[in-house]
Structure 1
């Protein structure tokens, strides 16, 4: 099974409006043209689909994803408006495919840049992992770990300690994917790979104490191949493909 993770397209109601001095719609079109070459089995969009939470931006994004001709799902980021997203396309909490479970978590907090899962969703996460021992891939917008950018750590996942306490009780979690940080990152936390993906729109400069945008940096998407081998062991391989500006 081949999954493509996309994130942070930051579209607006007006297609001509630029996001941090880049043409978000043009970048999305270029990204999806490259994605289409791989004929993925599933596309997962990990938040900040819209920059203004407008119906028009979600309709345009949904039409673009639909044109890929494969199943796709999205989840909200801090710039999104979940209720408006849902009017265009439902938010799905879990997908089962090829012996895997893919858990799609909502970290949106109204009016805030940081994220939170909240008690009810954490209870559901534990119940899902306890009740289904198939290998799990977890996707959320906000990174559940410290990253290499100090200001970004202030707007990460608030309740990550509880999140990791839950994951620590279940060894069938194979990886965690996130967006939000607008560049590629990979680390291990409690033995679980945590990976971000470059933004579709503008990239942020890592390793800086203050906010900065690299307008020349390419966007990208993550390819994730999931399988179960002959010994019934889960296999996950992944890489990021960059798409020149």
Structure 2
């Protein structure tokens, strides 16, 4: 099974509106052509689909995703408006597909750039992992780890320690996908890969102490190959596909 992760498209109601100098609508369209060529089984947008939370931006994104002809889903980032997203496409929490469960978490906090899962959602995550021990992929917007950019850590996931504690109790979680940091990054947390993806929109400088845009870095998406227990080799493999302008 092949999954494509896209993130941080930052679309606006006006399709001509740019995000930090990037024509995000044109870039998303070109990326969709590359995604379609990969023939994925599932596409996941891991937040900040919209920059202004407008229904027009979500409708436009949904039209392009529908054109792929495969299953797709999305979850909210800090720039999104979850209720408006749900008007266009319901927000899913768990997907069961080909012997895997894909758990989609909502780290959105109204009016805040940072994220939080909260006590109730963390409890639901623990119950889900305890009750279903099939191979699991977790997806959320805010990175649940400390990153190199100090300014980004101030708007990361507030309850990352509680999230990490849950991960440490279950060995059937094979990876965590996130967005928000606008570049590719992979690290291990208690043996579990935590992987971010380049933004559809502008990329941020990974190790800058203050906010900075990397104008030369290309956009990209992540390919995640999920296998069954009966297939030789690792259950999960991944790579980033870069899409230069």
Query: Is the structural similarity TM-score above 0.5?
Result: yes
Look up the match of 1:40.
40
Q: Whole-Å Cα distance in 2 between the matches of residues 243 and 139 of structure 1? A: 22
Aligned residue runs from structure 1 range 45-194, under 5 A? 45-194=45-194
Calculate the TM-score normalised by the size of structure 1.
0.98
CA-CA distance at 1:98 after TM superposition: 1.0
2:204 aligned partner: 204
Alpha-carbon distance in structure 1 between the residues aligned to 2:12 and 2:197:
21
Deviation string, structure 1 residues 33-65 (Cα, Å, up to 9, x no partner): 100101100001000000000000000000011
Measured in 1, the distance between the counterparts of 2:219 and 2:203 equals 7
Tell me if the contact between 1:22 and 1:215 (Cα under 8 Å) persists in the aligned partners.
Answer: no
In the TM superposition, residue 168 of structure 1 has moved relative to its aligned partner by: 1.0
Q: Work out whether 1:8 is the aligned partner of 2:13.
A: no
Residue 231 (structure 1) shift:
7.2
Contact 1:3/1:43 (CA < 8 Å) preserved in 2?
Answer: yes
For structure 1, which runs of at least 5 residues remain unmatched after alignment?
none
Number of aligned positions between the proteins: 245
CA contact (8 A) 1:12 1:56 kept: yes
Alpha-carbon distance, 1:230 to partner: 2.5
Alpha-carbon distance in 2 for matches of 1:39, 1:122: 33
Asked if structure 2 preserves the Cα contact closer than 8 Å seen for 1:108 and 1:116, the reply is yes
Q: State how far apart, in whole Å, the 2-side matches of 1:166 and 1:232 are.
A: 28
Pair 231,198 (structure 1): closer, same or farther in 2 beyond 3 Å: closer
Tell me the distance in 2 between the aligned counterparts of 1:154 and 1:71: 34
For structure 2, list consecutive stretches of 5 or more residues without a partner in the other structure: none
How far residue 154 of structure 1 moved from its aligned partner, in angstroms, is 0.6
Q: For residue 223 of structure 2, what is the aligned residue in structure 1?
A: 223
- 1:121-153: per-residue Cα shift (whole Å, max 9, x none)? 111000100000001100000000011111001
SS in 2 for 1:37: helix
Residue 206 of structure 1, CA deviation: 1.1
- How many Å separate the matches in 2 of 1:45 and 1:136? 18
Question: Cα offset for 1:217?
Answer: 1.6
